[in-house]
């Protein structure tokens, strides 16, 4: 994965910035956080965030902006146009550490961690044997599936958020923080810039919801969590490879990873919501399709683990 490509694709839509009025952020990460499931959902989050593995993955994600910031700090000035997009801006404004780190973690690190969590959802319980005890509790298969997806979705929200916030934090402590010049040429204050940073994190969270649904489905197919995790991560790589092949251009808008890097629109004034909306619709489609597949598989599955 070339670090130039994301920069180029992020800059491309800047030329024809359509000043559309801000649309409704359809769905959004909060849509899956329903209270339905109650105690089980709280318990699910408890189990997820009491695992050392979860913290190791979040720690790894947090290390990305730290590495970037320290590397830029200790090295000489980065020549403009080299390295990942926004890298050269870091020395002028520390908040760009967050943006750069998110950009860097999109192709592999975020899908990897989300793939692990989503692939583990059902298969992990089956592997431990706890699935049968949840089902005879009785948790209810549909309820359990929704709670499991909800847990994976929360992780999909938390993961980019960690990168953004740690990036902003380390950036602010190592570099000056000031007004940010947007792609549209307008300058915004640091406070609003932080808001934009969170907006990008939200964009990535939405981007990862489709992958989470794929992981959930994979997870219902096997009792071996590693298998479900690996196939989910591999699918995210395959999707990105297909997206890079110009011969398959007709397929590109249907790939779940197609809009992953198109968050540059969020760095305009006013915010162009088109790509956010397009991405959200695509992800919702993936959630619907793979959610239905997971449902179809899990509701009739013989739990023999």
Partner 1 sequence: MTAVAHTTELSIETTGLSKRFGRQLAVDGIDLAVPTGSVFGFLGPNGSGKTTTIRLMLGLSAATAGSVRLLGREMPRHLHEVLPRVGALVEGPAFYPFLSGAANLHRFDAADPHVPAATRKARVRDALDRVGLSHAADKKVRAYSLGMKQRLGIANALLAPRELLVLDEPTNGLDPQGTREVRSLVRSLAEDGVTVFVSSHLLAEVEQICTHAAIMSAGRLVAQGTLAELRQAGQARLRVLTPDAGAAAQVLVGLGLTVDGATPAGRSRPTGDGPARDASGSDGDVLYAPLRAGSGDGGVPPEAVVAALVAAGVRVRGFATEQVSLEERFVALTGEGFDVVQ
CA atoms of 215 and 115, how far apart (whole Å):
6
Of 29 and 150, CB closest to partner 1: 150
CA distance 172 to 183: 21
Q: Which stretch binds partner 1 (CB under 8 A): 39-47, 224-232, 257-265, 277-285?
A: 39-47
Using CB under 8 A as the binding rule, whether residue 130 contacts partner 1 is answered as yes
Q: How many residues bind partner 1 (CB under 8 A)?
A: 28
Q: State how far the Cα of 127 lies from the Cα of 3, in Å rounded to an integer.
A: 37
132 binds partner 1 (CB under 8 A): yes
Please identify, using beta-carbon distances, which residue of 48 and 229 lies nearer to partner 1. 48
- Binder among 43, 91, 92, 184 for partner 1 (CB under 8 A): 43
Enumerate the β-bridge partners of residue 187. 181
The one among 23, 133, 186, 281 contacting partner 1 by CB under 8 A = 133
> 47 vs 108, which CB is nearer to partner 1?
47
Structure tokens at 298: 């899990």
- 275 lines the binding site for partner 1 (CB under 8 A): no
Between 97 and 147, CB nearer to partner 1:
147
Token digits for 269?
């004034």
42 binding partner 1? (CB under 8 A): yes
Binding status of residue 35 toward partner 1 by CB under 8 A? no
Would you tell me which residues interact with partner 1 (CB under 8 A)? 38-40, 42-43, 46-47, 50-52, 128-130, 132-140, 143-144, 300, 302-304
């Amino acid at each position: 994965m070339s670090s130039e490509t994301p920069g180029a694709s992020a800059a491309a839509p800047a030329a024809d910035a359509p000043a559309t009025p801000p649309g409704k952020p359809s769905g959004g990460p909060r849509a899956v956080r329903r209270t339905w499931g109650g105690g089980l959902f709280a318990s699910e989050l408890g189990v997820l965030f009491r695992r050392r593995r979860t913290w190791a993955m979040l720690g790894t994600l947090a290390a990305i902006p730290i590495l970037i910031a320290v590397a830029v700090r200790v090295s000489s000035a980065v020549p403009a146009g080299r390295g990942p997009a926004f890298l050269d801006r870091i020395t002028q404004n520390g908040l760009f550490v967050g943006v750069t780190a998110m950009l860097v973690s999109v192709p592999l690190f975020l899908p990897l961690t989300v793939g692990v969590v989503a692939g583990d959802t059902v298969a992990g319980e089956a592997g431990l044997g706890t699935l049968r005890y949840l089902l005879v509790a009785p948790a209810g298969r549909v309820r359990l599936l929704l709670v499991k997806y909800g847990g994976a979705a929360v992780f999909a929200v938390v993961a980019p958020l960690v990168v953004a916030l740690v990036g902003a934090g380390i950036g602010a402590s190592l570099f000056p923080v000031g007004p940010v010049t947007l792609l549209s040429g307008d300058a915004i204050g640091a406070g609003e810039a932080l808001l934009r940073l969170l907006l990008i994190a939200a964009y990535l969270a939405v981007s990862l919801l489709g992958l989470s649904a794929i992981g959930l489905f994979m997870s219902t197919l096997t009792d071996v969590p590693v298998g479900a995790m690996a196939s989910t991560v591999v699918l995210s790589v395959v999707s990105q490879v297909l997206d890079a092949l110009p011969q398959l251009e007709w397929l590109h808008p249907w790939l779940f990873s197609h809009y992953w890097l198109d968050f540059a629109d969020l760095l305009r004034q006013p915010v162009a919501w088109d790509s956010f909306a397009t991405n959200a619709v695509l992800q919702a489609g993936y959630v619907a399709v793979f959610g239905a597949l997971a449902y179809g598989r899990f509701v009739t599955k013989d739990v023999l683990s």
